[in-house]
Structures are given as structure tokens and as C-alpha cells.
């Protein structure tokens, strides 16, 4: 079993340097995949109301036999639940679906600027935290300006901003902003959903140098940037491969060579224009 290192968030909570994405993991097969990941050492499971698998995530937590305090579950408030009261109701709905009495990290899934309620939603999450429904609160897909607005309006900085981040879109400016404000970066689609990324020559070369796989090079790159990747895999062997990245270190030049693959967002999901309800 791989021991995944942890970092401390700005609210004092511990947080793994790598977690499991669960999008599309559903039903008994999905539960089995999540339990296998926990058995391999994963301690962070990333779900959302909109993934329609919170029941499966809660069941995997229970079946794993790992003490509840050693596992972290992330869920996310969808756009249709934005608003102060609505956010609290959404969290209660997630707790019911999960069958758990606490969510460890609650995120706003997308800012949906045309709805204009992400600050109200954030205030609802602060209340939910005070009520003990959630441990840590954060956001997803927020820009620097949106983060500045949340902090200015409430004095509470998100612990985490989960954003599209992979070698084709390294998010240098946003990561620097996070670092300056004590916000942990979390990478969604860290493998660029596989695409052609894993065939890139530089990744194959670095994999040979370190005697690892191109996937492991990419995931180690994320952690060395100071971001927590949440690769999704339904396959226990690939899950183990993805978690086994802490036994080698890329040099600064090698990190820079991976970042040089930058070409921009892959799915046109600019939070200023892309909205999800
Ligand atoms: P991803 O993790 O970049 O890629 C997943 C794909 O890579 C799957 O097809 C998986 O196939 C394959 N894969 C995994 N490990 C592999 C390996 N070692 N070798 C070869 N292929 C491998 O993409 P993602 O699922 O879009 O993103 C990860 C998680 O981020 C999601 O599950 C979700 O939790 C989160 N997310 C959040 C947002 C947001 O807006 N906040 C948006 C998108 C995603 P197998 O399953 O067959 O292994």
C-alpha cells in the first residue's frame, strides 16, 4: 500500500497530496473500484451532486473498513443550488445521499457568474461549517478576481480551488495567486483524460530516466507544482500506478520541460463563460 503524503490546509486540516476522481464510477462496479483505491492507500475521494454517485462514495467509505477520520470525502454544490439557504440544503442533501454525518471538503462546483450568487453560496457554506456539517470549505473553477471577491466580502479564504490543470494547461498565474493567499491548488482532469498527453515524447523520455511510466511523471509533476491531482481510474492496477509516485523526484528543469507542453484549456471550460447547473 502506498502512503500518500499530506499537507496542511489554511484552516489547519490535513489534505492528501493525491486523491481519487470518481466521475463516472457508479453502481456496484463503481463501489468496488473505490474500495480498491482505498485499499491501495487513497484517502481522498472526489465526488459532486452532479456526478450522481454520492451514494456509492458513502458506501465505499463504509465498506473499506478504514476509520472514517482517516478518509476525506469532497462534494460540490451544483449551480442550481446557489444561494445562502440553498447551499445549506444542498449540503444536507449530499450528507443524506452519502449516508455520512460530515463532508470533509465542500466545494462550489462552478461560479456560474450569470447567476450572480456565488458570494451568497459561500456565506451559506461558512454557516454550514459553523454548524459542523462540513469540515473544510473551498471552491472549484474560480478565477483570481472571484477569489478576491469571496475573501473581501467574507474575510474567509477558500482552503482549496479545484481547477482544470494538466501539462497542457499548467495554470501558472492562478497557482501563484493561490500560493500568495494560502489556497491549495487541486487539479481536475490531471491526466488530460488521457488524450494524446501520455504519448508526448518528453514524458516518455522522463519516464525512462526515472524508470516509471509517463502517467507517473505527469502526476509527480502535479505534486511538485504544489497541487493535489485527483486522477480517476476504475482499474486497481492503474490506481496503484497512479498513487506510486512519491519514490522519485523530477529536477526543476524536468518540471519546466513538462510545463512547456502548455497550449491552453482543452475543453473550452472558461469559468467566465462556461456554466454548469
Ligand atoms: P483524468 O483523471 O485526467 O483521466 C481519467 C482517464 O484516464 C480515464 O479514462 C482513465 O481510464 C484513464 N487513466 C487513469 N489512470 C491511467 C493510467 N495509469 N494509464 C492510462 N490511463 C489512465 O480525467 P477526469 O476523470 O476528467 O478527472 C479526474 C477527476 O476530476 C474526475 O473524476 C472528477 O472527480 C474531477 N473533475 C472535476 C471537475 C470540476 O469541474 N471540478 C471537472 C472534471 C473532473 P480508466 O478508468 O479505465 O483507468
Q: Which atom of ligand 1 is nearest to the CA of 213?
A: 18
Pairing of strands 14-16, 6-8: antiparallel
Q: How confident is the model at residue 194 (pLDDT cuts 50, 70, 90)?
A: confident
User: From the CA of 123, how far away is ligand 1's center (Å)?
Assistant: 31
User: From the CA of 233, how far away is ligand 1's center (Å)?
Assistant: 6
Active site positions, annotated: 51
C-alpha span between 42 and 87 (Å, rounded)? 28
For the whole model, what pTM was predicted?
0.98
DSSP 10: T
Domains, the chain, ordered by start:
6-259 (3.20.20.100)
Q: Whose CA is nearest to atom 26 of ligand 1?
A: 189
Q: What's the pLDDT tens digit per position in 45-94?
A: 999 999 999 999 999 999 999 999 999 999 999 999 999 999 999 999 99
Element (H, E) at 162: strand 160-164
Amino acid at each position: 500500500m502506498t502512503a500518500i503524503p499530506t499537507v496542511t490546509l489554511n484552516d489547519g486540516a490535513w489534505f492528501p497530496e493525491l486523491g481519487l476522481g470518481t466521475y463516472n464510477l457508479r453502481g456496484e462496479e463503481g463501489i468496488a473500484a473505490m474500495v480498491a483505491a482505498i485499499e491501495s492507500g487513497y484517502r481522498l475521494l472526489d465526488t459532486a451532486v452532479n456526478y450522481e454517485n454520492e451514494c456509492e462514495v458513502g458506501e465505499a467509505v463504509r465498506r473499506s473498513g478504514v476509520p472514517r477520520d482517516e478518509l476525506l470525502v469532497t462534494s460540490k454544490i451544483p449551480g442550481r443550488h446557489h444561494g445562502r439557504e440553498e447551499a445549506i440544503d444542498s449540503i444536507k442533501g449530499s450528507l443524506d445521499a452519502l449516508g455520512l454525518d460530515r463532508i470533509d471538503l465542500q466545494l462550489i462546483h462552478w461560479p456560474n457568474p450569470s447567476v450572480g450568487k456565488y458570494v451568497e453560496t459561500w456565506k451559506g457554506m461558512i454557516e454550514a461549517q459553523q454548524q459542523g456539517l462540513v469540515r473544510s470549505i473551498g471552491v472549484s473553477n474560480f478565477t483570481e478576481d472571484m477569489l478576491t471577491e469571496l475573501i473581501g466580502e467574507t474575510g474567509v479564504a477558500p482552503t482549496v480551488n479545484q481547477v482544470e490543470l494538466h501539462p497542457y494547461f499548467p495554470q501558472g498565474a492562478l497557482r501563484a495567486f493561490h500560493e500568495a493567499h494560502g489556497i491549495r491548488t487541486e487539479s481536475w482532469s490531471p491526466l488530460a483524460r488521457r488524450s494524446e498527453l501520455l504519448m508526448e515524447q518528453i514524458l516518455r523520455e522522463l519516464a525512462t530516466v526515472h524508470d516509471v511510466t509517463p502517467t507517473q511523471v505527469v502526476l509527480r509533476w502535479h505534486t511538485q507544482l504544489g497541487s493535489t491531482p485527483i486522477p480517476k481510474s476504475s482499474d486497481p492496477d492503474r490506481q496503484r500506478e497512479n498513487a506510486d509516485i512519491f519514490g522519485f523526484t523530477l529536477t526543476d528543469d524536468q518540471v519546466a520541460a513538462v510545463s512547456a507542453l502548455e497550449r491552453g484549456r482543452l475543453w473550452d471550460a472558461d469559468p467566465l463563460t462556461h456554466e454548469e447547473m
